[in-house]
Amino acid sequence: MSDTDFRLKGSVVTTVVLEVRCLNVEQIVQGLKEKIAQVPQFFNQAPLIVDFCACESVSYESFDQLIGRCRELGLAVMGWRAPESGIPSWRTDALLPMLPNASNRKLNIKSEESAPATDPHVVIKTVVEERDVSQPTKLITKPVRSGQQIYAPGDLIVVSQVSAGAEVLAEGNIHIYGALRGRALAGIKGDTQARIFCRSMEAELVSVAGNFMLSDALQNIIWKDTAQVLLVDDALEIVSL
């Protein structure tokens, strides 16, 4: 699948935008299946907007087929977008509302063959609100188990492991003195200086200020080793400690 076929865009509240660049329904659906399989909880019933602004032409048949397939994958399709200069004549036939265009940062989905091993090929970027004030550090001394969610209004310290299926979120930094096997989201209110530190990087998903990276990309950079996650020039960087 070419990286020019489509893009995804998302946010920490799991609102997803599917940006269609080449309307090949089967390729798009296959790419969506692969990403959903990695973190199904993240995409389960997530509100979806389908954006055709980068697509040269869209037939109603292809539009209707893609919307139906997205719903079959468990995504809650909320609306769609079209370029202002090329609004389809069939727009009034669509049962979904056509939404105004918006400028957002994007997620490229690239095939495994086309992505260099050192280049993250699953990066979700979004715009989040600014962080307002500092908050006290929250300390967790027990393992964070699968299905648990821990939130800290400031920094978060976990002196044990974060299990697969668990999620830790903080407005500030996240320190994990064990294995990170679940999801860790730091700077969730826009703190671009926030970082994630862990003793063993085995995460399903990591995020700083709304910029996401999934496990398949992490495994190409650093895996089962000490690591920190930070933002550099508005892109996630994963480095050893």
Confidence (pTM)? 0.55
Distance separating alpha carbons of residues 62 and 68, to the nearest angstrom:
10
Residue 21, pLDDT > 80, answer yes
2, 120, 130, 198, 217 from 116: Cα distances, Å: 14, 8, 33, 25, 10
Distance CA 96, CA 87 (A): 14
Domains for the chain: give ranges and CATH numbers: 6-114 (3.30.70.260), 138-240 (2.160.20.70)
Sign of the dihedral defined by the CA atoms of residues 141, 145, 148, 154, in that order: positive
Classify 155 as helix, strand or coil: coil
Q: Is residue 126 pLDDT above 60, yes or no?
A: no
CB 12 within 8 A of CB 207: yes
133-175 pLDDT tens trace? 446 899 999 999 998 999 999 999 999 999 999 999 999 999 9
Eight-class DSSP state of 149: E
Least Cα distance to 175 among 201, 190, 156, 149 occurs for 156
Supply the DSSP string of 35-93, one letter for each residue: HHHHSHHHHTT-EEEEE-TT-S---HHHHHHHHHHHHHTT-EEEEEE--TT---TTGGG
pLDDT digits (tens, 9 = 90+) for 164-190: 999 999 999 999 999 999 999 999 888
Nearest CA to 229 out of 110, 219, 241, 41 is that of 241
C-alpha distances (whole Å) from 203 to each of 131, 153, 185, 237 are 25, 22, 11, 14
In the prediction, which pLDDT does 55 show? 85
